[in-house]
Amino acid sequence: MTRQRTSERGLTELYGNDPERADALVFGRRAAVGRRGFLGGAGLAAMGAAVGGAIPFAASMPAGLVPAALAQGSPAPAAKGPQPLDFPGKSKGLTVLGDRPLVAETPEQLLDDEVTPFEKFFIRNNGQLPEAAASADGWKIKVEGEVNTPLELSLGELKSRFQPKTYRMVLECGGNGRSFFVPQARGNPWTNGGVGCAEWTGVPLADVLKAAGLKPSAAYTAHYGADLHLSGDPDKESLSRGMPIPKAMEEHGLVVFAMNGQPLPTIHGGPVRLLIPGWPGSLSHKWLTRIVLRDREHDGQGMTGTSYRVPIRPMIPGGKTDDANMRILESMPVRSIVTNPPNGARLAAGLREVPLRGAAWAGDDTVSKVEVSCDFGATWSAAQLAAPKNRYDWQRWTARLTLPSDGYFEVWSRATDSRGRAQPHAAANWNPQGYGGNTLHRVAILVG
């Protein structure tokens, strides 16, 4: 079971456009009303050969489903597809999705730690990587705009003036899950690996804003950093996003200077960045230099058009956008992943019980339950869900699946948030930039 990134999109779009025709083309079967009760003979043999073994629950496989073994196999890159990351201190297991700017995701099986270590943490840049600070504590941050007392503080002054806090919190790219949309959306083709959960240490952003004295007119923040635009033009912003004041005043929003107990690495925004949990990672501005309080919604780079914006009413997939129908992406959707066994795992013949581990999170909300299935969703069983250490921590889960025989199985995980919203089978609410693609996670395993 090898990862074929170059064919994954073709298979997905083929099945998305016409699943019955796709079945016929890929597995040599006649079109049928549905796949349930249809697999058999040459078609079943062809699919079994493709995935590497007999399929005990073939009768429950939904029509038009691309087997996980073919759609998202083990992380061996295609010749011209994403390549392993080669960056000092980082795991070579990370996959490069873009090199200008540098973007790399973490395969789900590398997210098996309760706290994501530096070497396994994903990378998402927007502009040029700034040089490391000569003096971390000398780094300057300004707070200005709709405030009574504009501030210019060094990082050293921030540390001494305000009480630091440490929280374990999820940081997730807004485009996580983008590759699951059909038709394909623009941007880096994230699967589930644009996420990590670290121990972040910093001073509460709310305390800094209170010290500046917000005017009644302050309605929104605007963030700026030291990363130069890719063009090299100093008059262009690589990214400048913001948030409503209520979100900025939440206690878990931090001006961060340490990650997992160590000074914040340059590649992750060091010496100082914002960490705004639950919302897209682009809000957590790296190499922070300035926060401006505005009397209106911010309109910087990453705040207009289709950038970090999703439809209010569903739009035609692949169609044109209406700016009046777009809203800013705020809380991230519920998501769960299987972190063990890895996708493409080959397990010993005769194994009848498989232990599972994973993680789940839900933006501003909590996860109420995680369920797992090994029969293509025909039946589900509840996983054991651990409580978060603090708000915005991910929730680790465990489960055990009983298998009836050797063969090819898919482990599916599905999380439901505290508002009752569950992960869908297919990416919903299509949008040009591919935000919110939180489909249930599928892992292929072969027993025997």
pLDDT attached to residue 19: 67
pLDDT value for 7:
43
Assign 47 a pLDDT band (cuts: 50, 70, 90). confident
Q: Percentage of residues in the chain with pLDDT exceeding 70?
A: 88
- The DSSP line for 329-380 is --SPPPEEEEEESPTTEEE-TT--EEEEEEEEEBTTB-EEEEEEESSTTSS-
pLDDT at 16 over 70: no
pLDDT score, position 40: 57
Q: What percent of the chain has pLDDT over 90?
A: 83
How far apart are the C-alpha atoms of 371 and 384, rounded to whole Å?
9
Each domain of the chain, given as residue ranges in start order, spans: 1-49, 123-328, 335-447
Q: Does domain 335-447 have CATH number 2.40.160.10?
A: no
> How many Å apart are CA 281 and CA 407, to the nearest integer?
40
Q: How confident is the model at residue 72 (pLDDT cuts 50, 70, 90)?
A: low
CATH architecture of the domain with residue range 123-328 = Alpha-Beta Complex (3.90)
Q: Which residue has the tokens 């708000």?
A: 391
Average pLDDT over residues 2-26: 58
CA angle in degrees (0–180, nearest 5) for 131-82-346: 125
Is residue 73 scored above 80 in pLDDT?
Answer: no
Alpha helices, DSSP H, located in 35-76: 41-51, 68-71
CA angle 175, 433, 308 (to 5 degrees): 70
Torsion of CA 208, 211, 217, 221, to 10 degrees: -10
- Hey, do 123-328 and 335-447 end up sharing a CATH topology, with the first three levels equal? no
Residues 6+ apart with CB under 8 A from 420: 368
The pLDDT tens digits for 357-370 are 999 999 999 999 99
Q: Assess contact for 417 and 438: CB atoms under 8 A.
A: no
Higher pLDDT, 12 or 197: 197
pLDDT range class, residue 62, cuts 50, 70, 90: confident
